[in-house]
Each structure stands twice: as C-alpha cells, then as structure tokens.
Amino acid sequence: MKNFSNNLPPSDQPPLRLRERKEEDELDLTPMVDVTFLLLIFFMITAAFALQKSIEVPPVGDEVAASQSVEDLEEDSVVIRIDGDNVFWVGAPAWEAEQKVLSKQDLLVKLREARGDNSSGPAKLLVQANGDSRHEFVVAALDAGSGVGMEEIRLMNYEDGDLDL
C-alpha cells in the first residue's frame, strides 16, 4: 500500500489537533430555574382569591319570626317578590301597586326610589322568592338591598297560591 500523505509537501498537510476534553461536562441549570420562577410568578398572579360573602340566617325555630305575619312584615318594608319566571316585583309602603322590574340594574334604581331621598324611607327589606325561582335572582335581590343600605333584610319563600296578589 502506498502512503499518499507522504507525497504531499509538508506545508500542505493540515496540522493534526486533538480536541481536549474537559474533565467534567456540566449542565447549566440557570435557564431552567428562570423558567420555573416565571411559571411560579404567573400562577401566583392569576390565582383567583375570591372573598366569600355570607348571610346570617336565623335558626328555623326563631320565635320572633313565627309571631309576625306576612302583612306585618310588609307594612313598613320594601318588598321584592321574585316570581316563578324570575321576574322582580318591587313594592313599597308609599306605592299603591307593585312595579315590575326587568333587570338587576333596574332593581337598584327601583330600590333607591322606594327608599326615598336621603335614605329617609323604610330601611327594611323583605325578599319573597318563589320556590321555582333561580338562586342567582334571589342573591341578586339580597345584594341589591345591601347595596342601597337596607339595614334589615329578610328572606321568605312561597309557592304559587300562598300569597294574595
């Protein structure tokens, strides 16, 4: 066999270099730590921390509530009636008839009207909810009463035919 490398002049041959290998090849974890911290910050910021509201409900055997009739409660209270079709009806002692309210925003307006200027009207609210009404409408009525500054809010449920309308 012929050795062709010897035929080339010594200046044309590339110098042979061996790559020196490090003793330990280390993996750089800095980018992985950065990504982990970014994910942690993202999830902490986007986490929903909802404040839970609660409503005090007297026990069922409350003697004071049992001794009052619906008529007694309606005398000096603003009344929100929610029928089975989830329609609000607002009545006030100063009004002759209930007024139909179509939206939750209009409910706030009617409650302010019923309360009067400078909150001089009745500070009691009675929410009468039909058994077929949706829970979100009952909560909206309770929130609206709280929003206009009603001091005493009562909740009552009824079935069709229970109230004389």
> Residue 29 domain-assigned?
no
Per residue in 15-68, pLDDT (tens digit) is 667 666 666 677 888 899 999 999 999 988 888 776 666 666 666 655 555 566
| pTM (whole model) above 0.85 | no
How many domains does the structure of the chain reveal? 1
Look at phi and psi of residue 27 and say left if phi exceeds 0, alpha if psi is from -120 to 50, else beta.
beta
Longest dimension (CA), the chain: 122
Helices 104-115 & 135-147 angle (0-180, nearest 10): 40
> Residue 134 domain-assigned?
yes
Residue-level pLDDT at 21? 62
Residue-level pLDDT at 105? 86
> Residue 147 domain-assigned?
yes
> Residue 60 domain-assigned?
no
> Residue 10 domain-assigned?
no
> Residue 1 domain-assigned?
no
Secondary structure of residue 78 in the 3-state scheme: strand
> Residue 122 domain-assigned?
yes
Residue-level pLDDT at 85? 86
| CATH code for the domain in which residue 74 is found | 3.30.420
Q: At 18, list the tokens.
A: 């061996």
Per residue in 102-161, pLDDT (tens digit) is 888 888 888 888 887 666 667 788 888 888 888 888 888 888 888 888 888 888 888 876
Residue 149 belongs to domain spanning: 69-158
